[in-house]
Amino acid sequence: MMNKSRTILLAVLLLSTFASMAQVEIPAYTGYAIPVEATDSMGESVLFTKEKGLSNWKNPTQKISYYFFAKQSGALKLSLKMQQFGSSARLQVACASKTFILPPSPGSSLRVLPAGTVLIPSPGFYNIELSFTGKPGKQAAIQSIILEGKATEGIQYNPQPRRNAASVHLLYPLPDTVQAVSFYTELKVPPAMDPLYTYFMADGFKRGYFGMQVNSATERRIIFSVWDAGNEAVDRSKVAEEKKVKLLAKGTGVEASDFGNEGTGGHSHWVYNWKAGETYSFLVTALPDSASQATYYTGYFLVPETKQWKLIACFRAPEDGEPLRHLYSFVENFDGVNGQLQRKAIFSNQWVRSAKGEWLPLSKASFSYDATGKAGDRIDYGGGVVDDGFYLWNGGFQKGNVEFGETFSRLVDTAKPVIDFTKNADSLAQAQADEAAIASWRKTHADSLISYQGLYCAISKQGHGRSINSTDTVQVRYRGMLLNGEVFDQTKEKPARFPLGRLIKGWQTGLSMCRTGGAIRLVIPSALAYGIRCRSPKIPPNSVLVFDIEVEDSKPAANG
């Protein structure tokens, strides 16, 4: 009799305890399906909607998971607010090493079905997993998971339909005195930390970003994008032409288009099967043009298989005219269907090159996260220092290890970058494109050009002075044009004087066909000009150049 009384008393106390605790409802639309659910024609989930919670769930092999962070240990009662899910199936609810099986629920009205009580042994992340035993006769429809008990005190979960992990960033401080014109970063994603729908962004700056992305199970990309001027956030057709970024050049096989919905601008990507565990190098350059208040941003990717630089794209950004600033990196989960998975990247050996030509290491970084992190909807993120680099991670419902605004310092024991743009990954394809462009140009330009050591030249005036050597210093009058006839440079009243050794290869080679007092036309393929470099606001990368040159004087280098 005494034992029975004690049992009744304990039951009453337990019920009283649950009644005094706040009830927490985790919305059913915040779950994750394994296998991942399908989407409709608009790209929206067929399982999770804010209006219906979890609906259309009838795949007997599909499991649905919900995550929460418990700050308190103790009892946790689980219930489901749901509708009928069929007479032949059983719904299984698993949490904290316990599994409960709910009997079929006849009728279509919304009701609360208790599952059972578990013990949360210690603070941390926990998972509630729903699955079927047997084949459901009808679609299961669940509105929320109800939690009650001591363990709900201070509990954290994502209440939002957005299931993405919080984006995490590294901001690299740069002194105002440094006019940065190049930004170099090495990026590695550790094995198994590269799930679908992730953007690992290496070189970010105020007007754009550059990195690599996992777009699907069969496609990965190198992506470089630059924002338009102005404040339009969604529709690029609403942006005035003078505010739009303009594509000037792109590499072989690179796709270029517009983008919107996160600001607007010019987008470029190269489909490339990058791999986790390998290190990739990214370089962004900026060529400010104060006269037009524009900056020319160019993205280059070092292809590790050939150790050659590939031009991704060059964009002209209006209403700018400044060097690189606000430098950063990030890890982004851009589709929430697998937002429960962890992502990680290591950013190392970061450098900037100043307008004076000096390479300076970026050895400090501060940590931040997006609105999802700021709202406390997701708290599984982190960052830190590893060897000569910084790392970032998000997702996985692991406990965070860093606070917003925390700063890191890395070791600087690696050599500064050596950038050799003559090692062009697209050299063969570009040479063929140049030949085709020159051939087309020659059809509309009467000339007597001859091919000579990779370029074309025509003597328009015979000189009678000394032959010119590539090491000479020359005094010349000239005019430089693109194939479309646009003049990018020319002498004015006075001639120009140059050591030939400091000029492009096309001048050094072509002028050896000329004598002092003579005049020559040179048509120079891009490989013998500036190649993939963005050398001047008026000369895009991969430009074929036409020069009309009159040599007034030449002297050997020793006397120059």
pLDDT digits 0-9 by tens, 145-163: 999 999 999 999 999 999 9
Is residue 83 within 8 Å of residue 112, measured between CB atoms? Answer: no
Q: What is the mean pLDDT of residues 455-470?
A: 92
Q: What is the mean pLDDT of residues 457-472?
A: 91
Whichever domain contains 544, its CATH number is 3.10.50.40
Is residue 5 in a domain?
A: no
pTM score of the predicted model: 0.92
- Residues 335-375 have pLDDT tens digits of 999 999 999 999 999 999 999 999 999 999 999 999 999 99
Domain range for 91 is 18-152
pLDDT of residue 295: 98
Is residue 49 within 8 Å of residue 30, measured between CB atoms? Answer: no
Of 118, 152, 186, the last residue of a domain is 152
Q: Is 480 helix (H, G, I), strand (E, B) or coil?
A: strand
Q: Is 373 helix (H, G, I), strand (E, B) or coil?
A: helix
First to last CA, the chain: 116
Residue 297 has pLDDT above 80, yes or no: yes
What is the chain's length? 560
pLDDT of residue 557: 76
Q: Is 258 helix (H, G, I), strand (E, B) or coil?
A: strand
Q: Is 242 helix (H, G, I), strand (E, B) or coil?
A: helix
Whichever domain contains 267, its CATH number is 2.60.120
When comparing pLDDT for 31 and 21, which is higher? 31
Residue 6 has pLDDT above 80, yes or no: no
- Residues 174-186 have pLDDT tens digits of 998 999 999 999 9
Is residue 251 within 8 Å of residue 310, measured between CB atoms? Answer: yes
The Cα–Cα gap between 393 and 374 comes to 16
Q: pLDDT tier at 86 (50, 70, 90 boundaries)? A: low
Of 374, 409, 444, the last residue of a domain is 409
Is residue 81 in a domain?
A: yes
Residue 140 has pLDDT above 90, yes or no: no
The Cα–Cα gap between 482 and 523 comes to 10
175 plus 145 within the same structural domain: no
Which tokens sit at 523?
Answer: 């048509």
Among 95-109, 305-319, 445-459, the least confident range:
95-109
Is residue 414 in a domain?
A: no
Q: pLDDT tier at 41 (50, 70, 90 boundaries)? A: confident
The Cα–Cα gap between 345 and 394 comes to 10
When comparing pLDDT for 107 and 12, which is higher? 107
124 plus 181 within the same structural domain: no
pLDDT of residue 135: 67
381 plus 495 within the same structural domain: no
Residue 210 has pLDDT above 80, yes or no: yes
Of 409, 444, 461, the last residue of a domain is 409
The Cα–Cα gap between 56 and 266 comes to 39
Residue 15 has pLDDT above 90, yes or no: no
Identify the sign of the CA torsion 374, 376, 378, 383. positive
pLDDT of residue 17: 46
Is residue 91 within 8 Å of residue 129, measured between CB atoms? Answer: no
pLDDT of residue 58: 83
193 plus 329 within the same structural domain: yes
Residue 346 pairs in a beta bridge with: 188, 391
99 plus 224 within the same structural domain: no
The Cα–Cα gap between 391 and 409 comes to 11
Q: Is 230 helix (H, G, I), strand (E, B) or coil?
A: coil
- Residues 241-281 have pLDDT tens digits of 999 999 999 999 999 999 998 899 999 999 999 999 999 99
Q: What is the mean pLDDT of residues 185-194?
A: 98
Which tokens sit at 92?
Answer: 């299984």
DSSP 80-118: EEE----SS-EEEEEETTEEEEEPP--SSS-EEEEEEEE
224 plus 109 within the same structural domain: no
Q: pLDDT tier at 60 (50, 70, 90 boundaries)? A: confident
Among 37-46, 384-393, 476-485, 502-511, the least confident range:
37-46
Q: Is 158 helix (H, G, I), strand (E, B) or coil?
A: coil
Question: Which one-letter amino acid corresponds to residue 395?
Answer: G
pLDDT of residue 5: 54
The Cα–Cα gap between 215 and 208 comes to 19
Is residue 26 within 8 Å of residue 80, measured between CB atoms? Answer: no
Q: pLDDT tier at 83 (50, 70, 90 boundaries)? A: confident
Provide the strand spans (E) within 362-501.
364-369, 381-386, 389-394, 407-409, 450-452, 455-461, 473-482, 487-490, 496-499
- Where is 203: in which H helix or E strand? strand 198-205
Among 107-116, 230-239, 477-486, the least confident range:
107-116
Question: What whole-number percentage of the chain has pLDDT above 70?
Answer: 93
The Cα–Cα gap between 248 and 74 comes to 63
Question: What whole-number percentage of the chain has pLDDT above 90?
Answer: 84
Q: pLDDT tier at 106 (50, 70, 90 boundaries)? A: low
Is residue 149 within 8 Å of residue 16, measured between CB atoms? Answer: no
The Cα–Cα gap between 231 and 235 comes to 11
469 plus 503 within the same structural domain: yes
The Cα–Cα gap between 349 and 184 comes to 8
The Cα–Cα gap between 288 and 323 comes to 6
pLDDT of residue 142: 93
242 plus 368 within the same structural domain: yes
Total count of domains within the chain: 3
Is residue 69 in a domain?
A: yes
Question: Which one-letter amino acid corresponds to residue 39?
Answer: T
How many helices (H) and strands (E) the chain has is answered by 4, 36
Whichever domain contains 58, its CATH number is 2.60.120.260
Closest CA to 80 of 20, 123, 31: 31
Question: Which one-letter amino acid corresponds to residue 507?
Answer: W
Mean pLDDT rounded to a whole number for the chain: 92
145 plus 209 within the same structural domain: no
Closest CA to 64 of 155, 149, 163, 137: 163
Residue 113 pairs in a beta bridge with: 80
- Residues 527-551 have pLDDT tens digits of 999 999 999 999 999 999 999 999 9
314 plus 260 within the same structural domain: yes
Is residue 419 in a domain?
A: no
pLDDT of residue 375: 97
Residue 10 has pLDDT above 80, yes or no: no
Is residue 161 in a domain?
A: no
265 plus 393 within the same structural domain: yes
Q: Cβ–Cβ contacts within 10 Å for residue 65, how many? A: 16
Residue 19 has pLDDT above 60, yes or no: no
147 plus 229 within the same structural domain: no
The Cα–Cα gap between 446 and 434 comes to 19
Residue 11 has pLDDT above 50, yes or no: no
Is residue 94 in a domain?
A: yes
Among 57-61, 207-211, 256-260, 397-401, the least confident range:
57-61
Residue 559 has pLDDT above 60, yes or no: no
- In our burial notation (b when 16+ CB lie closer than 10 A, e otherwise), range 257-283 reads ebbbeebbbbbbbbebebeeeeebbbb
- Apex CA 267: angle with CA 263 and CA 268, to 5°? 160
Residue 1 has pLDDT above 70, yes or no: no
